[in-house]
Structure 1
Amino acid sequence: MDLQKQPVQPPAAPARPEGCLVVAIRLPVRIVVLVLVVPVRMVWDALVVAGRFLKDAVFRPLGRALVWLGRVLFVLPLIGLWRYVVVPAAKALAWLGNVLLVIPLVWLHQYLLTPLGHALARLARGTGAVLAWLYARVLTPLGHATLWLLRHLFVVPARWLYDGILAPVGRALAWCARGVGRLLGLLVTGLGTAAYWIVRILLVLPVLALWRWVLAPVGRFLAVLAREVGEALGHAWRIAGRISLAVGRFLGALFRWIFVEPVRWVYRTVLAPVGRLVRDAVLRPVAEAARSVGRTARQALAAARETARQTRADVRRMLFGEPRKREAVSRGEPQALVTRTLDSSTTALTKD
């Protein structure tokens, strides 16, 4: 028993019935589009083949050569400039800046600005104490007196004026403004309703009728035409691709049977046997003869060289006699000590 529920496949949407207008438009459009698209597709395929050939035979080697040239002319000089000029110059400037700026500034901050700052802080603390005493003993009583005078001279009369005169007058003006606003609202509502119906009757209903009975049918017709043209272009592009492929294969087969196969047949039946015959009958014997001649010449040269050497040695002995043998010269180096064995009777007492 299968415990897992199988996913429910949604029902396929029923195919929409096509009208006679769609069928009448489709066939002529596809014929015209196919006639127009086939040359374009063949030209496109030819351009693609030419582009691939140019990429493999021209652009890729040219790009590699340009990359190598750019590396030789720009990258390596820039690396050398950075490594042997900029970096040493930057290190020298950093050392110079440290000696000329950092160390003097540190000394100035430590031995001049810091003591001066401490002195100014002490002076500011003393000034703050004087100002606090002045605020507490002088400014605060003066402020309280000024506040009392302002309250009795300005605030109390202003509050009495607001409560007794300005508030009643403001309420009366607000009541009059609300009445005028209601009147204007009724007037604007009536004018808006009249303008709405005028615009609806004169503009909206004609535009709606134009859209429903003229523009919508024309738009649907144009949509059907555009859809059919798009489908015809896709169909024609695929058919043109197959036609272009067939034409390309035919031209390739024709080129192979006209040029490649005859050349292959000539090479296989004529040039290859002739080449093997020439190699076996001419080139190999000539190479063997050349090698034997070379060996003979090398042996003759070696024998002549040895004879000349012996002759020079005989002439030298006849003229100058036998050469003196070189005597061994002591270089002051310690000679190796003879190791004492059991058979040796030499001791420290019997040694000369």
Structure 2
Amino acid sequence: MDLEKLDAERPAPPVHRHPQQQQSGEAAGEGCLVVAIRLPVRVVVFLVVLPVRLVWDACAVAARWLGRAVFRPLGRALLWAGRAVFVWPLVGLWRYVLAPLGGVLAWLGNLVVVVPAGWLYRYVLVPLGHALVWLYARVLTPLGHGVMWVLRGIGSVSAVIGLGVFAALSWLTRYLVVVPGVWLYAWVLTPVGHAVARCAKGLAWLVDVLVTGIGVGLYWITRILFVLPLLAVWRWVLVPVGRVLAVVAREIRNALGHAWRVAGYVSLAVGRFLRTLFRWVVVEPVRWAYTRVLTPVGHVVRDVVLRPAAEAARAVGRAVRQSLASARLTLRRTRADLRRVLVGEQGPERGENRREPIGGDTRTLGSSTTALTKD
């Protein structure tokens, strides 16, 4: 029976419901005031939130475009410039200046500091330390033992004298200070202290009674004048107003959430409409003009004007190059003729090959004029 009573009195475990079911349950249990407040609040909040959401989505799209088209290339350029201005010079300075200089300084430090310090420790400080140890063990230690023996003797004599003086001072202190002090405490200070303690207890009781009475009076005055009115104001004014304000704040919060989500859908639709409008007003006409007008015109200009002009320019260039080559050859021959007339024959002309023999002395595979096949 006791177990059945305990099972009956035990509270039921809470049931976890879906958020939509919970909201529907709350809506079913809400009053008419909440239902009357909800629709106007959501309409007003939606009208306020919609421009904010549109501006927010536009700023987000602009920020993504700026990050992809401006800031990311600018960051890469700044990173490359930072590496070129700071990292690579510092790496070169470390690799080709500081590291070799550090090696040289380490070698100089070893040569100037470490080696002399090791020599000083090995050949000066170690022998000096052994000499000091020998001096301490052979001279200072026996001298110290002798001094301690003398001091012990002096201390024994001083201890005997001090014990006698201490005994005399103890006897005088006992009969001149301690005994009179004990008598004064037992027969004078103790009765006076008991009387003072009783007076203090009575005065404390009187002060306690007065303070308790004053405290009880102030408690009831404060309770009647302040606590009870404040409690009434809290219970009958502030709590109902707070509940109404809590309902309004909750509805405003829920309305902000719904308005933000609905404004997101509206912003998405507006963005898609603007994108489609931009595509059909700007992109498609430009693409049609490029593919249907500019590309054929460009092909015609390329085939009719640019290619013939390029061919004519190349032909003119070839003609000019040939003319210049023939002029240079004529100039060379004229200069060679003048040199031959004025100076005489000095050797083969500049245009001839000086390395090959002339006439029948030309080297061939079947002849024996080379150095390897010569008899």
TM-score range normalised by the length of the shorter chain: 0.5 to 0.7
After superposition, residues 88-103 of structure 1 pair within 5 angstroms as 88-89=101-102, 92=105, 95=109, 98-99=113-114, 102-103=117-118
Measure how far apart 1:262 and its partner are. 2.7
In 1, the alpha carbon distance for the partners of 2:131 and 2:85 equals 59
Counterpart of 2:15 in 1: which secondary structure? coil
Counterpart in the other structure of 1:200: 223
In 1, the alpha carbon distance for the partners of 2:261 and 2:58 equals 16
In 1, the alpha carbon distance for the partners of 2:158 and 2:103 equals 62
Counterpart in the other structure of 1:55: 67
Which of 47, 50, 69 is residue 35 of structure 1 equivalent to? 47
CA distance 1:29–1:146, change in 2 (3 Å): farther
State the one-letter code of the partner of 1:98: V
Which has the higher mean CA deviation after the structures are superposed, 189-198 or 143-152?
143-152
After superposition, residues 244-263 of structure 1 pair within 5 angstroms as 244-263=267-286
Counterpart of 1:75 in 2: which secondary structure? helix
Counterpart in the other structure of 1:151: 170
| Structure 2 unaligned blocks of 5 or more | 1-11, 315-324, 326-347
Which of 182, 195, 211 is residue 234 of structure 2 equivalent to? 211
After superposition, residues 67-216 of structure 1 pair within 5 angstroms as 67-83=79-95, 84-85=97-98, 88-89=101-102, 92=105, 95=109, 98-99=113-114, 102-103=117-118, 106=121, 109-112=125-128, 115-116=131-132, 119=135, 122=140, 125-126=144-145, 129=148, 133=152, 136-154=155-173, 157-166=176-185, 169-170=189-190, 171-172=193-194, 173-216=196-239
Instruction: Choose between structure 1 and 2 for higher RCO, CA contacts under 8 A separated by at least 6 residues.
Output: 1
CA distance 1:318–1:61, change in 2 (3 Å): closer
Counterpart in the other structure of 1:11: 15
CA distance 1:146–1:209, change in 2 (3 Å): farther
Counterpart in the other structure of 1:44: 56
State the one-letter code of the partner of 1:253: T
Number of residue pairs aligned between Structure 1 and Structure 2: 311
Counterpart in the other structure of 2:9: none
Counterpart of 1:198 in 2: which secondary structure? helix
TM-score, normalization by structure 1: 0.67
Measure how far apart 1:32 and its partner are. 1.3
In 2, the alpha carbon distance for the partners of 1:99 and 1:247 equals 80
TM-score, normalization by structure 2: 0.64
Measure how far apart 1:132 and its partner are. 5.0
CA distance 1:128–1:208, change in 2 (3 Å): farther
Measure how far apart 1:211 and its partner are. 1.5
In 1, the alpha carbon distance for the partners of 2:31 and 2:198 equals 71
Which has the higher mean CA deviation after the structures are superposed, 191-200 or 280-289?
280-289
Counterpart in the other structure of 1:305: none
Counterpart in the other structure of 1:234: 257
State the one-letter code of the partner of 1:74: F
Counterpart of 1:11 in 2: which secondary structure? coil
- CA-to-aligned-CA distance 1:296-345 (integer Å, 9 cap, x gap): xxxxx9xxxxxxx9x9668998989959999979xxxxxxxxxxxxxxxx
| Structure 1 unaligned blocks of 5 or more | 1-7, 292-300, 302-308, 330-352
Counterpart in the other structure of 1:265: 288
Measure how far apart 1:164 and its partner are. 2.6
CA distance 1:263–1:232, change in 2 (3 Å): same
State the one-letter code of the partner of 1:264: R
Measure how far apart 1:9 and its partner are. 8.3
- CA-to-aligned-CA distance 1:159-207 (integer Å, 9 cap, x gap): 4345332256245143443343333333322322222222222222222
State the one-letter code of the partner of 1:245: L
